Amino acid sequence: MLFFNTSLYVNRELSWIDFNQRVLEEALDPEAHPLLERVKFISIFSSNLDEYFMIRVAGIEDQFQAGIQDRTIDGLTPAEQLDKIRSMVLQQFSQRNECFYHDILPALQKEGIEFLRVSELSPTGQRALSHFFRKEIYPVLTPLAFDTGHPFPFMSNLSLNLAIELEDEESGALKFARVKVPSILPRLLRLNDIKGFSSDDGIIRFIWLEDLIESNLSHLFPKMKISKSHLFRLIRDADIEIEEDEAGDLLKTIEQGLRSRRYGKVVRLDITPAMPSSVRKLLMKNLDVAKRNVYEIDGALGLSCLIDLLKIDRPNLKDEPFIPSNPIEEQYGGDIFSAIRAKDQLLYHPYDSFQPVVEFINQAAADPDVLSIKQTLYRVGSNSLIVKALMKAAEEGKQVAALVELKARFDEENNIVWARALEDVGVHVAYGLPGLKTHTKLTLVVRREQKRLKRYLHLGTGNYNPATGKIYTDYTLFTVNEQLANEVGELFNALTGYSKHTAYKKLLVSPINTRDRLIDMIDREVELYRQEGKGRIIMKMNALVDARTIRALYRASCEGVTIDLIIRGICCLKPGITGISDNIRVISVIGRFLEHSRAYCFYNGGKEELYLGSADIMPRNLDDRVETLFPVFDKSLVRDVIADLDLILSDNVKAWEMNADGLYSKIKNDKPKVNSQALFLTRSVFKKNYVNSK
C-alpha cells in the first residue's frame, strides 16, 4: 500500500493551475519575450483559464452540488478543491493585472501604442467617436429591461455585459437594464481607423468597445437618467454530455448540445470592484451564482482578446520570423511518395515545415495511381486545405473515408461544417465508436505501383491543422512499413465498420492495450536494470495523471531506473521523494511554441524502443478515447528523437523543474545557457542551408 499514500500525489486541478501560472510567468518576465509576445501570453493565460472553468471547474461544481464527498488521489474533496482553486486564481488575476496595467501598458505607450478612455479624447475626437457609434455600433445593440413586465434576460457563455442603473426622468422610478457588448464586433477599436479621428503623429491608439458603449448609453435610453453602469462577464458550464445510445443522429445531437452550451450553469461571474452590493446581489440571485463563484477583477474583463494586438505591424515587438526547413522538398523535389519509398521520413514541427503533410494529401488526391485515402480528423481549423484535398480526391473518383470527431471540444462547429461538406461530395464519413472520442492522428493512402498495391502512412502526434503546425511542436512519421500498414488498416476497419480486431502487436491502441503495454515496458526496464545495472525511461507528454502508470514509475524508480519526464502541463507524480522517486526528474518547458509532441522511450538493454503518438497518460486517453502510439523502427530516427529529448532535458532557460513538494521552480544553474526551442530553430536553419549548399 506504500504507493497509495495521498502525500505522493499532486492534485490534478491544482497542477493545471500551476501550469497556467508558468504560462503567465512568460508575460511577467520582461526579458522572456518581445513586448507584443508578452501580451500574447496574457491572452493565452486568460483563454486557458476560461476553458478551465467551463470544463474542469464546472465538473467539480457538479460534484459539490450533488453532495459528493469522494476524495481525489491526493486526498481532497470537491469543496476543498474549489476553495484552493479560487484562492490560486485570485492571486493569478492580481499578478496578471499588475503586469498588464503597470508594466506592459506603459511599455507599449513608450513604443507608440496607447490605450485610451473616451473621456481622455479631445472634443473633436469624442465627436468623431460619437458619430462612429451611431453608425457602426448603435444598430447592433439591444438594451434589455428587467422589471415586472420583462423577465431577467438570458446571457450567453463568455458574454460581456453592462448592468445599468437608470432613473425615469418623468416618474422618478428606478430601473435596471442590461446591454450586451456584442462579440461580433472588435473588442479593441483602433482609433486610427475611425473616420474623423485625427492621428498624424504615428501613434497607434485603441479604446475598449465597452467604454465606447458606456459613454453613449444615453442614445439607448432617451428620457432616462443613467445613474451608473457596471461591467460583468459570465462563464458557463460548456461541457456537452451525450447519451449516444439515445442519439440516433450524432450530428444533430452535437448541434443541439452546442446551442445548450450557451446557457449552461454559470460557474464564474466576473465583476468590477465598483459594482454595488445591490446590483451584485441582483445578478447572483437571477443567475443562480454562489458567492464563491464571484470574482472581483480590476480593469477590463476577459483579456483573451489581447491576442488581436499581434496584428499590429511592429516586427521589432514580436518574435523574429523564421522559415522552417522542408527536407522532402529540398532532397526529393517535393515528391512525397518517392521520399517515403526511399526511407522513413520523420519531421519535427514547427522546425520542419508542416507543408509535406498537406502535400501528402494533395498529391494523393491528384495522383491517378492512388486508389483510396483514409484519414482521421480531430481539429482541422476553419479553412482546412487538407479537408479540401480530401474533397478533391472524392471528386476525382477515389475512395475516400474520413473519421470526423464531432466531439472535439470547442471545434465541434468546424467539424460539423466539414463533415457535411465531405458527405456532399461522396466521402464516406464516420463519427467513430460509441462512447469513445477518436483522438488518433492517422492517414492511410493506397497506391497502385507496378501492378501491386502499396500503402503509405502518415502517423502524427498533432492535428491535421497547418495553423497549429506552425506553433505546436509535433512529430510526423511517413512510412511504408507493412506491419504498421496492416494494423492501421485494421484500426480504420474498426472505426468505420464492425471489426473487433484487438490483436495489435506493433501499435499501442487505446482503449485496448496502451496502458498495459506501457506498464509492461516500464516493468521490463526494471528487470533489465536488475540484470545489467542500466536502465532509463524518457517520457514526453502533455499530462501525467493515470494512477496505475504513476505507481509503475514509482516502482521503477525504487529499483534504480533513471526516469526523465518532460510534461508540459498536469503532473500528478512527485519526483525526488526519498526512497520513492529519487530517480525521477520532472521538467516543464514553456516557450515560444506549445510543447505538444508525445514520445515514450525505453533504454531496453541498449536496444532503444521509441513510441510517438497522440496519447497522454491520463485515464481519458487510456480508457475513453481511440488513441495510438506508434513505434519508430529506423534506429537513426530513434537516435535523433532521443537527442531531441536530451536537448530539452538540458534546457535551463525556458524549463521549470518540479520539486519533491509538487511545486515548480525555474531551472537556474551555472551551465551554459540552453534554450531548447531556440536551438531547434537554429538547427532547422542550419539543416536547410546545409542541404541547399550541396
How does strand 598-602 pair with strand 399-404?
unpaired
Give the CA distances from residue 305 to residues 163, 245, 636, 674, in Å, rounded to whole numbers and listed in that order.
21, 39, 44, 32
Cell of residue 212, nine digits: 465606447
Residue type, 223: K
What is the Cβ-side half-sphere exposure of residue 80, based on CA atoms within 13 angstroms? 10
204: cell is 497607434
Which residue blocks in 265-371 are alpha helix, DSSP H? 277-287, 327-332, 336-342, 355-366
Q: List beta partners, residue 509.
A: 628
| Beta carbons of 239 and 55 less than 8 angstroms apart | yes
DSSP H or E stretch at residue 348: strand 345-349
The grid coordinates of residue 613 equal: 503518438
**Up-side HSE of residue 272: CA atoms within 13 Å toward CB?**
15
**Distance (Å) of CA 576 to CA 75, 416, 562, 583:** 20, 46, 12, 7
C-alpha–C-alpha distance, residues 209 and 661, integer Å: 44
Distance CA 640, CA 645 (A): 9
Helix (H) or strand (E) run with residue 36 in it:
helix 35-52
Q: Where are the alpha helices (DSSP H) in 76-138?
A: 78-99, 105-110, 123-132
Q: Measuring CA to CA, which residue among 361, 349, 379 is closest to residue 465?
A: 379
Q: Show Cβ contacts of residue 315 under 8 Å, excluding neighbours closer than 6 positions.
A: 321
Instruction: Tell me the three state secondary structure of residue 613.
Output: strand
Residue in 33, 230, 349, 439 annotated catalytic: 439
Which alpha helices (DSSP H) does 237-332 contain, by range? Answer: 250-261, 277-287, 327-332
Residue type, 441: K
Residue 351: all three cell numbers together:
522546425
Of 402, 395, 396, the residue nearest 373 (C-alpha): 402
- Whether omega before 511 lies within 30 degrees of 0, making that bond cis, reads yes
C-alpha 398: how far from chain center: 34
Strand order in the sheet with 144-145: 144-145, 174-181, 160-168, 224-236, 266-271, 294-296
C-alpha to C-alpha distance for 76 and 74, rounded to whole angstroms: 6
230 is catalytic: no
**Among the listed residues 346, 340, 331, 383, the one whose alpha carbon sits nearest the alpha carbon of residue 360:** 340
β strands within 350-419, DSSP E: 370-377, 399-404
Helix (H, G, I), strand (E, B) or coil at 250: helix
Q: What angle do CA 636, 640, 643 make, to 5 degrees?
A: 135
Q: What is the CA radius of gyration of the chain?
A: 27
Q: In what order do the strands lie in the sheet with 188-190?
A: 113-115, 204-208, 188-190
Number of Cα atoms under 13 Å in the Cβ half of residue 263: 6
The three-point CA angle 100-104-110 to 5° equals: 145
**Which residues are tagged catalytic?**
439
